Structure 1
């Protein structure tokens, strides 16, 4: 039985990424200087990987209505030490990339060869400090490298990635206890584990990886 990496390789998922990407999952993220997080463009921001809005849309969006703050709870960011060309418009430069899913951030970094601690710092939203009644105001970014990640089999989050981040293992465990009945099987991960498992499963994963590698037109 093939594992996910073997399937992706058969589809060209590793061949297009280059030999360097094949090694990324086996190496620890560097712990370099921390770049401070950048302002979050809630009004105009889109996910750099899947292009969904980083703010929960009001009313219906693509035929669905989402609870208040649903997108914001999994917001993630890659902040750069030096500005670099924007992903979809090389004429512009950006100080950060914004993601509406933790998996989107990890998968984008996996495809494009970005590494935490090498001219960039990865950040995730601390779900333990998050208030869905004040979604944008309560987003507290913590370094991805030090967070604890919670996976719930039946948990619904954007892109069906089933991942949340917490500033501490204790907060993640308390959250898991409260939602054991609703979420089914549960797991805890470190950022290193997520890196080892990349690319992380989520909606449209193979198509998104292929598009970012230039195999599919936009």
Structure 2
């Protein structure tokens, strides 16, 4: 009798990432993953204790891919920006995993590489050591929020996106000037959330880094 195939950790994570391309963390389950692999859930629990640990491992692989072949270049702001753009690009290819990263913090190799580079960059900026952990924390919160917002738009179907655009036009261009005078005044200049996201991402990050720079002794 042929024994059941044993899947490697990497094969399990590959399949999990593929399933998460078309579903979110709530609908994803170890049972569904086991079915996709043609095995039972108990065999997967030899690799991961629970669903949360599995999701953390999948998200960490995105961080690891983002930092692959990375070499620090430029000043501290350029280093933080380069790291941030790598994360944005990596999660842009796996938008369903962006929210998972923000929700299920990873402690794997990919996470350590990101943490190390941002912490080293902040040290290179000349910040006192006492300030670096809190500055690091705020940078990561900002990046997680911006990347998750990007991903939320990227996961929309073309039909859903067009419906959202239509609702935006009705809400903004059709605003009653008596009730919403400021909105009516700026209506033709207000842009939908999904427009020009890369420039907005870089501008918001640059403004935050400028704030840090102003606090350097």
TM (normalized to structure 2)?
Answer: 0.30
Richer in strand (by share): 1
Higher helix proportion, which one? 2
